[in-house]
Structure 1
Amino acid sequence: MAKEIKKRRGVWFWAFWVLLLTLLLSVVLVLTALFRVGDQSGFSSRPFARSQASFDVVLTRTQVNAISAKFLKEQKIKNLSLDVGAQQADLYGSVKFLGSNINVGVAFTPSVAPDGSILLRAKRLVAGSMPLPISFVLRYIGSAANLPKFVNINAAKKTIRIDISRMKTGRLLTFKAKTIDLKKDKIIFQGDLK
Structure 2
Amino acid sequence: MKWKILFFILLGINGFIIVLLLFYMFQPSPSPNIPNIKGEGPVFTVQTSKQHMNTLIRDYIQKHEKKGELSYDVQLADRLYIISAIPIFGKQVDLTMAFDPTVDENGHIVLAHPTMTFGQLRLPVPYVLSYIDQHASLPNWVKVDAKKERIYIVVSDIRIKKGYMLKAKTFDLSKDDMTFTVTITK
TM bracket (short chain): 0.7 to 0.9
1:90 paired to 2:85: no
Q: Which residue does 1:81 correspond to in 2?
A: 73
Deviation at 1:122, TM superposition (A): 3.9
8 Å CA contact 2:110, 2:150 repeated in 1: yes
For the structure 1 residues 136 and 96, does the alpha-carbon distance in structure 2 shift closer, same or farther, using more than 3 Å as the test? farther
Deviation at 1:103, TM superposition (A): 2.4
8 Å CA contact 1:151, 1:160 repeated in 2: yes
Matches for 1:49-128 after TM superposition, within 5 Å: 49-50=38-39, 53-76=42-65, 79-85=71-77, 87-95=78-86, 102-128=93-119
8 Å CA contact 1:120, 1:160 repeated in 2: yes
Code of the residue aligned with 1:55 in structure 2: it is F
Q: Which residue does 1:10 correspond to in 2?
A: none
Q: State the SS of the aligned residue for 1:50.
A: coil
Aligned mates of 2:92, 2:75 — CA distance in 1:
21
Kindly provide the CA deviation profile for residues 27-62 of structure 1, in whole angstroms up to 9, marking residues without a partner as x: xxxxxxxxxxxx9x999xx97543661111101010
Aligned mates of 2:65, 2:113 — CA distance in 1:
24
Aligned length: 155
Q: State the SS of the aligned residue for 2:131.
A: helix
Which segments of 5 or more consecutive residues in structure 1 lack a partner in the other structure?
Answer: 1-38
Aligned mates of 2:39, 2:175 — CA distance in 1:
30
Aligned mates of 1:122, 1:80 — CA distance in 2:
20
Aligned mates of 1:121, 1:162 — CA distance in 2:
11
For the structure 1 residues 122 and 158, does the alpha-carbon distance in structure 2 shift closer, same or farther, using more than 3 Å as the test? same
8 Å CA contact 1:50, 1:193 repeated in 2: no
Deviation at 1:169, TM superposition (A): 1.7
TM-score by length of 2: 0.72
State the Cα RMSD in Å.
3.0
Aligned mates of 2:145, 2:90 — CA distance in 1:
26
Deviation at 1:123, TM superposition (A): 2.6
8 Å CA contact 2:65, 2:71 repeated in 1: no
Matches for 1:1-194 after TM superposition, within 5 Å: 49-50=38-39, 53-76=42-65, 79-85=71-77, 87-95=78-86, 102-194=93-185
Quote the sequence identity (%): 24
TM-score by length of 1: 0.70
Aligned mates of 1:172, 1:52 — CA distance in 2:
10
